């Protein structure tokens, strides 16, 4: 597969979206000389930014709806990860003999470099960026046998297809791979040379149905690794997670494969002290990144220095402000109960939690127990507010007050009323944002704006 393949082909981009590579795919196809049509259920207003970036290219749009004819006539359909493989329009292209592919599949088919891929339920972005940061520092300071280290994938820093021509075979690519992208890679049975799973907990059950189906998709990152090449593939598992520990055993004796496992307990003191991110979950992310780094020949002094310089990512337990003796933290990226529990357990001060959002059909039972135990109050917003309230109340009597709010601004105001000197207000919703916001970034902005406009006394 190369750029030439796309010349003069009718390429349909399904889902321009705000994430997920629709824009990258459209640019790539247009530059490769394809006749490009972009179709999206969202309207022009919602997609304005992406459309503006495509303005120099001759691209057709079908927005606010999908039209069967477009799918029937596509030579190539590049599908956004948010579209399930059994989508009825995707089936039309397949049936008509068109090629159905995705940004991630195309990248794997065209990238000449060795790929490190990271997936998991939680901690993917932190682990991926930390891994790339450590490898990049080592690459600059002492060399690691690769010319450049690239960071991209679900983390969204790089338009993968647009830059694939700049990637050389002696470079290294570090990718965050979402479950939806893994599902797409499974279509071509592709997986990274070095694969790591951070952990496994129920997520995206609205799309995958059962936890078993979800796990099955995740296992693809190991199952489709190409053993039998000159260098063994490397598979890295979380030793603290029951399912991935079982996978470690399952794959351990596979010829052409090296299996490694990581645990937060194994992080040496020297690195632990240098690390600035709070909580055990982040220590697990560090352990994961260090295990990848251990596959390269890097001096420990170089690693410790780079760990110290790592500041973490925005919207993951990020300090926002201190108002009237209360500290406010933005953990908008916590879109699963496990992430929110990690944040609640990682902060020791008395906490008021702002939670709730889009309903992904995940159980809040465990989160309810954790909130009742670790929070002095919870202010609930969004679709899942009643479910989370029920989960907290069903634990039995606790000191945790339950309140509701209709907007983020109101949630911040209610939290400010409840908070006392020395408290922490943590916006860690345990849910996706789509019921009230465009995405988690917009949710964070609403939170930060509301916090910044609180009266000070």
Q: Which residues lie near ligand ADP (CB under 6 A)? A: 120, 122-126, 198-199, 281-282, 284-285, 316-317, 331, 333-334, 338-339, 342-343
Least spacing, CB of residue 267 vs ligand ADP, in Å:
13
Q: For residue 416, give Cα distances in angstroms to 98, 279, 301, 449.
A: 56, 25, 44, 14
Choice between 75 and 241, CB closer to ligand ADP? 241
d(CA 94, CA 331): 40
* Closer residue to ligand ADP in complex, CB, 87/441: 441
Q: Which lies closer to ligand ADP via its Cβ, residue 47 or residue 289?
A: 289
Of the two residues 75 and 331, which places its CB atom closer to ligand ADP in the complex?
331
Quote the tokens at residue 115: 């790929």
Q: Which residue is nearest to ligand ADP (CB)?
A: 123
Which CB atom, from 103 or from 199, has the smaller least distance to ligand ADP?
A: 199
**3 state DSSP class of 397:** coil
Using the minimum distance from each CB to ligand ADP, give the nearer residue, 317 or 414.
317
Do the beta carbons of residue 438 and residue 323 sit within 8 Å?
no
CB of 366 to ligand ADP, least distance (A): 12
CB of 247 to ligand ADP, least distance (A): 17
Is 135 within 8 Å of 293 (Cβ atoms)?
yes
**Nearest CA to 370 among 316, 430, 415?**
430
Q: How far is the CB of 311 from ligand ADP (least distance, A)?
A: 13
Q: Minimum Å distance from CB 279 to ligand ADP? A: 7
C-beta of 12 vs 378, nearer to ligand ADP: 378
To the nearest whole angstrom, how small is the minimum distance from the Cβ of residue 347 to ligand ADP? 10
* Residue whose token pair is 């997520």: 203
- C-beta separation of 105 from 21 below 8 A: no
DSSP H or E stretch at residue 435 = none
Residue 60: how many CB atoms within 10 A of its CB? 12
Shortest distance in whole angstroms from residue 165 CB to ligand ADP: 27
CB 198 within 8 A of CB 225: no
Strand partners, 330: 318, 427
Q: What are phi and psi of 152, to 5 degrees?
A: -170, -160
Compute the least distance from the CB of residue 121 to ligand ADP, in Å: 7
Q: Which is nearer to ligand ADP, 133 or 316 (CB)?
A: 316
How many whole angstroms separate alpha carbon 247 and alpha carbon 166? Answer: 35
DSSP 157-197: SS-HHHHGGG--TT-EEEEE--HHHHHHHHHTT---SEEEE
């Amino acid at each position: 597969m190369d750029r030439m393949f796309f010349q003069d082909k009718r390429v349909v981009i399904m889902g321009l979206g705000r994430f997920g590579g629709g824009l990258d795919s459209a640019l790539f196809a247009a530059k490769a000389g394809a006749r490009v049509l972009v179709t999206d259920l969202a309207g022009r207003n919602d997609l304005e930014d992406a459309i503006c970036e495509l303005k120099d290219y001759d691209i057709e749009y079908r927005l606010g709806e999908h039209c069967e004819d477009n799918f029937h006539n596509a030579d190539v359909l590049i599908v956004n990860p948010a579209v399930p493989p059994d989508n009825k329009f995707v089936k039309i292209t397949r049936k008509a003999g068109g090629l159905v592919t995705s940004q991630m599949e195309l990248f794997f088919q065209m990238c000449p470099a060795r790929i490190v891929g990271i997936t998991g339920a939680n901690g993917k972005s932190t682990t991926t960026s930390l891994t790339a940061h450590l490898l990049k520092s080592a690459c600059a300071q002492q060399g690691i046998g690769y010319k450049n280290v690239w960071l991209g994938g679900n983390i969204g820093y790089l338009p993968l297809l647009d830059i694939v021509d700049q990637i050389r075979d002696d470079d290294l690519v570090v990718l965050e791979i979402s479950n939806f992208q893994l599902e797409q890679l499974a279509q071509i049975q592709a997986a990274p040379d070095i694969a790591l799973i951070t952990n496994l907990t129920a997520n995206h059950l609205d799309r995958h149905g059962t936890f078993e189906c979800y796990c099955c998709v995740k296992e693809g990152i190991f199952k489709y690794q190409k053993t039998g090449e000159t260098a063994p593939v490397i598979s890295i598992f979380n030793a603290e997670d029951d399912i991935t520990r079982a996978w470690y055993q399952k794959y351990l004796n596979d010829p052409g494969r090296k299996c490694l496992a990581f645990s937060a307990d194994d992080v040496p003191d020297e690195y632990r002290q240098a690390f600035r991110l709070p909580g055990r979950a982040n220590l697990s992310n560090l352990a994961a990144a260090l295990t990848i780094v251990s596959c390269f020949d890097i001096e420990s002094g170089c690693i410790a220095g780079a760990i110290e310089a790592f500041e973490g990512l925005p919207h993951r337990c990020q300090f926002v402000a201190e108002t009237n003796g209360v500290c406010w933290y933005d953990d908008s990226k916590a879109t699963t109960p496990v992430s929110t529990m990690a944040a609640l357990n990682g902060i020791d001060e008395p906490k008021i939690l702002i939670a709730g959002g889009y309903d992904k059909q995940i159980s809040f039972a465990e989160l309810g127990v954790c909130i009742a135990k670790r929070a002095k109050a919870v202010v609930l917003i969004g679709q899942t507010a009643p479910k989370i309230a029920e989960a907290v109340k069903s634990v039995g009597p606790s000191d945790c007050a339950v309140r509701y709010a209709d907007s983020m601004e109101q949630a911040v105001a209610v939290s400010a009323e409840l908070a006392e000197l020395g408290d922490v207000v943590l916006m860690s919703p345990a849910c996706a944002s789509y019921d009230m916001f465009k995405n988690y970034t917009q949710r964070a902005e609403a939170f930060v704006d509301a916090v910044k406009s609180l009266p000070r006394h």
